[in-house]
Structure 1
């Protein structure tokens, strides 16, 4: 090959190399479906009104047995509500980490 022909061939090769397919950046695949679902919030407890006792001085008092039973129902509801919130917060953190790892 003559030097001119060699120079033309190498120039053509360099020019054609720039015409090749460009890599396409694709995002992460969607996360698993179970990561997109949170636990349901608990149903609001059905609380009956407390039976008050009116004292001779006009103050109202509630029997301890009734208030303890009511407090136990409310405490269970608060624990279940916190648990549902924690499940959702954990799912969101998992998604945040998943997409943050894909940005690297």
Structure 2
């Protein structure tokens, strides 16, 4: 029995990244997303966040571009913190007054 090494998933990761970029391109052009693409991405419906590429960070690390990699990480952390804060605010904010 062959034991899969972690690097065996690189082609699958690249394929999924291609589907994400294709989905994002079609969204930008306001075109429909084929059901097979949504299925491959594990989505019920397409949205810009799910259809954006994740590989710029991988490319930066592969090129040993420390500044670009660090900037991408900081951007992702800041975005995640904003999303988390919004969820907390929505959860604990008082409901709007009834008209």
TM over 0.5: no
Give the structure-2-normalised TM-score. 0.35
Instruction: Judging by fraction of residues, say which structure has more helix.
Output: 2
Compare relative contact order (CA 8 Å, sep 6+) and give the higher one, 1 or 2: 1
